Structure formats: C-alpha cells, structure tokens
C-alpha cells in the first residue's frame, strides 16, 4: 500500500525474511550462527563489529538498507563503492522519505515482497537452464569461454592517475546450457534470469555495462 503510515511501514518494511534486525538475533538459525561466529573473532574485531550497524552482530541477515547519500557518508568521505555497498538492502529501504537533509533517502515506494512480477502468485518451482562462465584471469581470452571481444581503454582515476581497464563482450547461446534444473522445456516462456558469482576467496568489484538478448534468423 503506497499510503502506509510511518508505523505500518516500520512493521512491514523488514526485508524478505519478515524479520527486523532485532528479531533476527532471536531467530534460531541466525542465533546459532552468531553463537558459533563470536568465539572465532578477536576482541578487537568484536569491538569493531559492535560499532558497525551493518555487521552480523547488529544485522545477522545482512539486509539492512543504507542510502548512498547522507551526512555520515560525507563525513567519512566514502568512495562510490562504499556508498552503494548497502543500497540493495531490503530492510528499511522504503521508510518515509522525511529527513533532515532535505532529500528522499528511500530506494522504493513500498516494502519488498517475494511476488517479483506482481501477478499475485507466488511461484515456488525451480525450473531453469544454467550457464557457466569462468572469470579466472587465465581463461579470459577472446574466442574461448564465451568471450567474443575485449577492449582496453585508458581511464582517468580520481587520484589523477591513468589506468588501463579491460571490457569483455560475452555471447552465450541460450541453447548451449550447461545443465537443466527441473521440468524445463523450450525457450518460449522465460521471463527472468538471475546471475550468481561464486568461488571467490577475496573481495572483487565488477562493472556490468549492458545485457542484451539478440535473435538471429536463418533462412
């Protein structure tokens, strides 16, 4: 409801798990995670995490929203990446936009729901095609690994330095899937896609330019 009052919005805008951060701490799955996590951390790390509103100690599900603009962000002179780090959070991202800074700090008008396409039907069947692309440096070669082209460009950084950046063009034939999950047949009724990045041992930042579905007709 777009006309939610502040109290109703506070109760409903708790993220997709239906729990606010305080309730997450009491939920068995999260509570067990915190119980096993804390003995593994040093006193200094624990102290730092207690002061961080987005750490697992204060937000076990990691779904708390933070707008990219704000006095705190400016004071800490956060980078672009740090400013947007929690922008995808689903808890508190539609809170009433009144604030002392004079601009809206919500990312959407209504709380998130699991009904992505708003058809009033909760689809819980897992049916999809799976495709795999390796991002290992040694496999990022044109002509292999679905890489059709790559471009090296020189960019100016905020510190005044020039640095070369490589952009890759991937072309993945939809019929060339790696595996099929569930009772999936044909390619005529596919409405959504999801992208997963896995297997990384260190933090990585990726820039995704565009996504296009291209059709070729052969006669």
Averaged over 113-126, what is the pLDDT? 80
Average pLDDT over residues 123-148: 92
Pick the more confident residue, 86 or 96.
86
Taking Cα atoms as reference points, which of 143, 202, 195, 188 lies closest to residue 169?
A: 143
**Domain residue limits, the chain:** 125-219
Give the predicted TM-score (pTM) of the model.
Answer: 0.75
pLDDT of residue 218: 58
Is 133:195 a contact under the CB 8 Å cutoff? no
3-state secondary structure the chain: CCCCCHHHHHHHCECCCCCCHHHHHHCHHHHHHHHHHHHHCCHHHHHHHHHCCCCCCCCCCCCECCCCCCHHHHHCCCCHHHHCCCCCCCECCCCCCCCCCCCCCCCCCCCCCCCCCCCCCCCCCCCEEECCCCCCHHHCCCCCCCEEEEEEEEEECCCCCEEEEEEEEECCCCCCCCEEECCCCCCCCCCCCCCCCCCCCCCCCCCCCCCCCCCCCCC
Mean pLDDT of the chain: 89
Q: Which of the listed ranges 32-41, 107-116, 179-188 does the model predict with the highest average pLDDT?
A: 32-41
Residue identified by tokens 């730092």 is 48
CB 94 within 8 A of CB 66: no
- For the four alpha carbons of 35, 58, 82 and 44, in that order, the dihedral sign comes to negative
Per-residue pLDDT at 96 exceeds 80: no
**pLDDT tops 60 at residue 1:** no
> What pLDDT score does 113 carry?
86
* pLDDT per residue as tens digits for the range 53-68: 999 999 999 999 999 9
Q: In the numeric block, which tokens belong to residue 162?
A: 């020039």
Confidence at residue 4, expressed as pLDDT on a 0 to 100 scale: 67
> Nearest 5°: CA angle at 191, between 190 and 194?
95
């Amino acid at each position: 409801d777009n006309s939610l009052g502040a109290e109703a919005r506070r109760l409903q805008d708790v993220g997709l798990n239906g729990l606010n951060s305080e309730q997450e701490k009491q939920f068995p799955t999260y509570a067990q995670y915190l119980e096993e996590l804390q003995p593994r951390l040093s006193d200094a790390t624990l102290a730092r995490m207690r002061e961080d509103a987005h750490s697992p100690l204060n937000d076990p599900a990691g779904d708390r929203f933070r707008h990219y603009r704000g006095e705190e962000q400016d004071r800490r002179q956060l980078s672009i990446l740090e400013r947007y780090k929690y922008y995808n959070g689903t808890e508190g991202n539609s809170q009433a936009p009144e604030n002392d800074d004079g601009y809206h700090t919500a990312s959407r008008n209504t709380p998130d729901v699991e009904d992505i396409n708003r058809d009033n039907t909760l689809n819980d069947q897992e049916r999809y095609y799976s495709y795999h692309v390796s991002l290992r440096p040694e496999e990022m070669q044109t002509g292999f690994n679905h890489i059709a082209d790559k471009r090296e460009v020189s960019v100016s950084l905020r510190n005044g330095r020039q640095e070369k950046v490589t952009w890759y063009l991937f072309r993945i034939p939809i019929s060339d899937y790696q595996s099929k999950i569930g009772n999936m047949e044909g390619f005529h009724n596919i409405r959504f896609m999801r992208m997963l990045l896995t297997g990384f041992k260190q933090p990585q930042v990726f820039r995704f330019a565009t996504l296009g579905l291209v059709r070729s007709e052969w006669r």
